[in-house]
Structure formats: C-alpha cells, structure tokens
Structure 1
C-alpha cells in the first residue's frame, strides 16, 4: 500500500466514526414479549385528569396515555395496540417489577430510592411538576403557612405523603394528615369536606379542580413544596427496552423543536433537513440500532403528534386542565424540555 493509499484509507475510517451502522439487533426480553403479545401494557391511573383518566366514551386519555401510545406505535406500528391496567399508588411498582406491565408512566416521580432500591430505571422526564395545595375559597387561605391546624387529604404510598410530612416539620406547621389508599378515595374525601385541603402534584390538583362540580369554589395555593419530575419507568436489566422508551420520548420533544407535527409528518418525509431525515428514518439506522423499524419515530409522531401537541391536547390552555407550558416549554423557549440529538 502506498503512502497516498494509506492516507486515503485513514480518512475514510475517520469519516465513518460516529455514523450509524446497519447492524442487526436481536430483540431483548421485553421487546420480544411485547411483540409476541401484540400489545404494550402500561400502568394506568384510576383518575388523574390530563395525565390518565377515562373519558366519557371509556377511552383512556392524558399525557401518560399518549406517551404509551407513542411507544406502542414505535414498537408495533400502531398506537392503539396498548392496554392500561389500572393500578393504585401502592401496587404500581410491584406490577412493573413482576412483569405485569411493560412501562410505568402513571404520574410517577423520579426519586433516588425508586431509581436505585426498587429495581427500576427512569427513562426521560415527560413533565416537571411540584407539590401544592388545593383549598376551598370559603376558608380564605392564601398561603400554605396558613394551614396551621388544618386537616390535609393525601394519598398513601406517594411522594406527596412524605413531602407533606417534611414540609410540616421544616416550616413548623402542625396539621392533621388524612390518608387514603387511592387517589380516587382522596379526591372523594376532599369533595365530601372531610379535610380542609388536598395536597398532591400541582398539575394533578389543576385536573382535579377542573373536574369538580364547582371549580370556581376552589383555588390552588401558589406555594410549591417539592420537585416532582415525572418520568416513565422500566425494569432494571433490559437496556434495549430502556433505550426504546427513553428515545421515543426524546423523539416527540425533538419533533416539536424541528416543527414536525402529526399533520405534516408525512410531508416531512421529503424534507432536505438532515435532522428531520434522521428523526423520520430517511437517513441513518437509528431504529434498527434498538431492534425497531427505521420509521419508529415517524410512527410515534403520526400516532400522537409531537410533545407540544400532546401537552396542549391534554394539559394546555385549551384543555379543561388549562395549564401554561411554564418549565415544560422547550429549552429554546426558556423551558426545561431538551432532547439529545438523534444522530
């Protein structure tokens, strides 16, 4: 080999660094099980408007529900091939650990103990939240500090129960916790005036308030007492499935940043922008790297739209919940939603 030939070969090798290669990837245990079953199984919530709740036609709707539909579309090509067994706060983790479900979204906060001691891996944050308080306007309470001596409804087995105790100790506020096994029981107790306030994630409180018979009679206090990054979790030990769930979420965020929507995704297949071509499987082998079809992200976007569309439909200003994007806006718009590059 001449010096010129050797130099040319070295340049070719360097040019290949970082490029996707079409290596066949065998399905791991979870991907294989989902395909054999013909359906994704996601842990469902008994009723969290905007995240996971049955609509008037008996269809499970919400940000968590659409996240699961996106994963089903990425894996099976059809966003409707998903089931949502309803789980309580206490049973949701054992359902994932035992293999009863494939993914746990269900407004679950990513915390150190859950991530390390429970045999779970959290994938990507789908909503940045914080715990708040819902009270009746007739109580004339404007700040959480004024809940001294109040009874506060909270659900057992949640970070809300622990955060509430920490908040009371640190702020020296004495209150009486009224604890229930399920969110539905907690909500009904608050409606029945069995407690003075209801404490859980502020986004859930907005959804709960919107579903009350007279929402205008209730207000969410401005105090936020915790950090609650909500993220779908999977089991330890299956890195391929972890990648699939995480990168499907990232694909929805990336699609919003690139202007790819449910309505224009077909048209975008002919885009000349290399980032869009990689996202939609027109360039690179990013789907096959995870054992999926090249159009995994295209299928997910076609099923539910991009992250912004999912947010607005379920939680945004035009929805019954009526939340602003706030910190859940894209990083380019002052928010925290940021996806690593698909390349």
Structure 2
C-alpha cells in the first residue's frame, strides 16, 4: 500500500512538473517580452553596440521569435550568460530561450533535458595563432600552450585531436571568451582554440587582426543552434518554425525588401502559405496568420541576417560555406511550411 501511494505521489509530481513547464508562450505573452539568454559578448553573434543595444546573429533569432509572437521584434530582454551559466539559466526558467552559439550534442539534448530548435550555424572547432610563429597547420602544434574556455565542447575536442595525432599540449583554461582572448594576446598561451566562427569574431576585435592566422584544420562538428526546455512542445514549435521560416524564406527568394510586394501579388502557393494569404498556419501555434511575414519584414530572411552580422561586408568577413542554401553549395535546408 505504501508503495502504491509513493508511486501515485511521484506520478502526480511528474505531471505537475510537466504542466508547470508547458506554458512558456502564455507566460511570455503575459509579461510582454521574451527573456533571451545570449553570450556575454561575441562580435557578430551577440554584443551590445555603442548605445547599449544588443545586436548580432543570435540576437536576431530572438528578435525573430518576438516578431512572430508580438508583431514587434523588440519585445526581448537579454540575459548575458557564460558557457558554465547558460544551461542552469535555461533549466531554472531564468530565461525562455537560449541563443548562444551552443553546440547540439546528445547529452545536452537528452541528459540535460533540452530541445534544440535546429541548426542555425554549421561550425567546427579550429585554431588561431600569431602569424609571427610561422605555423601553417594544427599538426605543427606539438608542445603548444593552448588557451581554451571551460564548460564547452572545446576541451574534449582539443584532447581528442592531440591524442589522435600523438601530440602533447598544455591546456590554459578560462571561464569567459574575453579572458581567453586577453590571455592569448598576452602570450599566456601560443594557440587560441574555439569554434571557427568564434575565432573570426575574436580576431575582428583585436588590434591588428592581420597579425593572426586561423589554421585550416577543422577538428570537430559543431552544429550550433537555439534551444528551449523539454516538456513544452508548443514553445519548442515556435522556436523551431521561426528558424525554419527564415531559412525557407531565403530559399524562396522572399526578403524584407520584396515581402510586401509578394504578399500582395505572388501566385506562388508556397509563398502564399508562408505569408498567411492563403492559409492560416499561425493559428496552429497560437500565433497570428502573418507571423512569418512579420519575421521576414522586421528581421529578414536567414541570408539577410547572416550577411548583416557575419558576412563578407562585416569585420568578421565569413563566407557562407556550409551555411549556404542546399542548392547553392551548402547544406542549409528546412522543412516546408505547408
């Protein structure tokens, strides 16, 4: 009898816990904004500008979710998090979504209880060294002092790479990307390792960027993307389809500049569905029919967001590469809105 009572209580507690986490959209609408977890500052991805306004590739994802929900991209508040803090902030409910150049892994998805909305940047870990060292390859780094950020996939990848290639290294660990960069600049270490996108970002803000070389080796797969908590499929759907809508919009040639004309005049059934003129897909997520139109009009499609924050006209000067559309030499591909 005691056993049955215990399991009944446990089942009730589990149900209540699930129910408690299953109303993020209602909570967000009630408070009037999304609490978005971002990095403490990474050029091109998330950083405050000179006026203190957050900008960047990951920031624009949160702005896109805000546009979808509120019809306003600026109903967002930002919580800067370190690599160590980010998961606790999401698990505890301090933030509603984490958009912080975070790698999608098995354990994060399953053991930590998160749901990744998809991949918004296909990345891989690399190495940056000072040009004066004359190093041309990661295979020349035997015995190097390597600066690395704690609480990331970077540490394990680093160990695997050096072990697999029969090399030794000394790891110099710091809590934040800013600390890693400063240590690297002060010659506390010989090498800076992180996701290659992060290396481009860090190189763009150091004195004399041309004095630093990003080596050609990519030593890991780092599919980066936004994530939410398990147990709230409704909120997960909104995050997932916000990203998919941005990717699909670029694929279909719908931009912030032509979206009004297409909304009024297009005969393309896919675009009509996307913009809410032939079907109301938004109602299935408790959003307005023009949710995807608002994303594109107010924030832009995936390509516009990439070029504005990371592309060849920015200090990061990143080529699309794998992050180009599937029919343009990359692997970017999203399910259709239908």
Q: In which range does the TM-score fall when normalised by the shorter chain?
A: over 0.9
Q: By how many angstroms is 1:59 displaced? A: 1.8
Partner deviation per Cα, 1:63-122 (whole Å, 9 max, x = no partner): 100011001110111101111110010010010011111111100000011010001011
Matched, 1:175 2:180: no
Matched, 1:62 2:63: no
Matched, 1:144 2:135: no
Residue equivalent to 2:314: 319
Measure the CA separation in 1 of the matches of 2:112 and 2:220: 21
2:294 aligned counterpart, secondary structure? helix
Residue equivalent to 1:153: 147
Partner deviation per Cα, 1:211-245 (whole Å, 9 max, x = no partner): 11110110100011000000101000000111100
Matched, 1:76 2:93: no
Q: By how many angstroms is 1:56 displaced? A: 2.2
Residue equivalent to 1:120: 114
Task: Pick the aligned partner of 1:250 from 244, 249, 267.
Answer: 244
2:98 aligned counterpart, secondary structure? coil
Residue equivalent to 1:52: 46
Measure the CA separation in 1 of the matches of 2:315 and 2:158: 27
1:260 aligned counterpart, secondary structure? coil
For structure 1, which runs of at least 5 residues remain unmatched after alignment?
1-26
Q: By how many angstroms is 1:319 displaced? A: 0.8
Measure the CA separation in 2 of the matches of 1:157 and 1:284: 44
Residue equivalent to 1:328: 323
For structure 2, which runs of at least 5 residues remain unmatched after alignment?
1-20
Q: By how many angstroms is 1:28 displaced? A: 5.1
Contact 2:310 2:316 in 1 (8 A): yes
Measure the CA separation in 2 of the matches of 1:263 and 1:61: 20
Partner deviation per Cα, 1:164-195 (whole Å, 9 max, x = no partner): 11111111110001000111111111122211
Matched, 1:133 2:143: no
Measure the CA separation in 2 of the matches of 1:72 and 1:28: 19
Question: Deviating runs (4+, > 2 A) in structure 1?
Answer: none
TM-score (norm 2): 0.92
Residue equivalent to 1:291: 286
Measure the CA separation in 2 of the matches of 1:177 and 1:55: 32
Task: Pick the aligned partner of 2:228 from 226, 231, 234.
Answer: 234
Measure the CA separation in 2 of the matches of 1:188 and 1:53: 17
Structure 1 vs Structure 2 CA RMSD: 1.1
Residue equivalent to 2:7: none
Q: By how many angstroms is 1:135 displaced? A: 0.3
Measure the CA separation in 2 of the matches of 1:47 and 1:144: 27
Measure the CA separation in 2 of the matches of 1:184 and 1:84: 19
Taking the TM superposition and a 5 Å limit, the aligned residue runs for 1:195-210 are: 195-210=189-204
1:85 aligned counterpart, secondary structure? strand
Q: By how many angstroms is 1:44 displaced? A: 1.3
Q: By how many angstroms is 1:58 displaced? A: 1.7
Contact 2:22 2:231 in 1 (8 A): no
Q: By how many angstroms is 1:263 displaced? A: 1.3
Q: Which moved more, 1:52-61 or 1:129-138?
A: 52-61
Residue equivalent to 2:4: none
Aligned residues: 317
Measure the CA separation in 2 of the matches of 1:263 and 1:105: 26
Q: By how many angstroms is 1:280 displaced? A: 0.7
1:83 aligned counterpart, secondary structure? strand
Measure the CA separation in 1 of the matches of 2:189 and 2:137: 17
Q: By how many angstroms is 1:285 displaced? A: 2.1
Task: Pick the aligned partner of 1:188 from 179, 182, 191.
Answer: 182
